[in-house]
Amino acid sequence: MTTNTEPQSSDRAAAERAAAIAEFQRKDKWRRRLPLLPALLFTIVVTQIPFLFNIWFSLQDWKIVPPRGPDFTGLENFTEGYSNTFFLDAVGISIGMTTAAVLLSLLVGTGLALLLDRQFFGRGIARTLLITPFLIMPVVAGLLWKNQIFSATFGVVNAVIEPLGFDAIPFVERYPFWAIVTVLVWQWSPFMMLIILAGLQGQPTDILEAARVDRASGRGIFTQITLPMLRPYMELGIVLGAIYLLQVFDHIDVMTGGGPGSTNVPYFVYQRSIGGGWDFGQAAAYSIIVVIATIIIATIALRVLSSLFQRQETA
């Protein structure tokens, strides 16, 4: 603070200082934003521009085989698409497949993590073996299970159950939905296991010790201390799993090629557009419907995430 005797110049100095502060704050804001901008711009350009194109395409009557259009048709693609029973089937498959795969993976993954969270001979090797399915390329996983595990003639499962008096079962052909879910659970349980294992290893031992001193039972410790502590990790696993499992495409492509009972929404949209349907306008309309539906689901999922962040802040 300067001790200025002239009131006029003091006013001017204060105004200048205020302006300088405002200027500094404005610059500081941008200096803070600057590191974010490249990633933000890149993401907006690559992910949002195709979406804008899609909105335009969805309003066209546009087919490649046989060639027709593009002609503007307004919302016709939407009214037509919304009531298509095959589309509604695909929505059902998508919801069912994602729910089943995420929950089963979480269940199996938690079990595996609890098994691994103790000292025993060769623990590192057992963990290594258990992680491996997550690292396998989906195309390879699908082909491997279809041809070498589930196949009625060459498959290992049938080679095991046939001597027990069962008939050979062509699993993929007869139970396409559950065959695919099995492979998804095989691949994603290890991922859930990693997350839960991280949670278990972050458990403070002093609380466990206190519970022990108070003679709490093993089961009591698990349900009242371990499980609540694992909850945020489980939520994280569910959200991440759902993001990736909603988009499953490769497994379906190599295992059933989108046969009955296994066409989820991504595969359906693919079939309608560049996967043989070549009805670009209609496919774009389906994409828009899917995006709107996912935004609704995502809002719910993000609320879960946001509670995770809040916990992170208070921690």
Q: How many CA atoms lie within 13 A of 107 on its CB side?
A: 7
Judged by CB under 8 A, the residue of 59, 102, 197, 245 near another protein is 197
Taking the least distance from each CB to another protein, the nearer of 9 and 48 is 48
Looking from the CA of 312 toward its CB, the CA atoms found within 13 Å total: 9
306 binds another protein (CB under 8 A): yes
State the Cα–Cα distance between residues 4 and 6, nearest whole angstrom: 6
* CA 105 – CA 184 distance, rounded (Å): 8
Q: Figure out which of the listed residues 53, 82, 86, 166 binds another protein, where binding follows CB under 8 A.
A: 53
Out of 2, 3, 85, 153, point to the residue binding another protein (CB under 8 A): 153
Using CB under 8 A, which of the segments 14-22, 72-80, 124-132, 170-178 binds another protein? Answer: 124-132
CA dihedral 141→144→149→150, nearest 10 degrees, is: 80
Q: Looking at beta carbons only, is 88 or 297 nearer to another protein?
A: 297
For the chain, the residue count is 315
**Tokens 């060769």 belong to residue:** 122
- Take residue 59 and report the two structure tokens written for it: 């309003």
Site membership for another protein, residue 18 (CB under 8 A): no
Residues 242-261 that bind another protein (CB under 8 A): 243, 246-247, 249-250, 253-254
Q: Which stretch binds another protein (CB under 8 A): 16-24, 84-92, 172-180, 280-288?
A: 280-288
Please name which of 289, 268, 277, 288 lies closest in space to residue 68, comparing C-alpha atoms.
277
Confirm or reject binding of residue 10 to another protein (CB under 8 A): no
Q: What CA–CA distance (Å, rounded) separates 299 from 301?
A: 5
Q: Could you give the 3-state DSSP secondary structure of residue 173?
A: helix
Residues 54-73, interacting with another protein (CB under 8 A): 54, 57
Task: Rule CB under 8 A: say whether 171 interacts with another protein.
Answer: no
227 binds another protein (CB under 8 A): no
By beta-carbon proximity to another protein, the closer residue of 10 and 134 is 134
Nearest-approach distance from CB 7 to another protein, in angstroms? 37
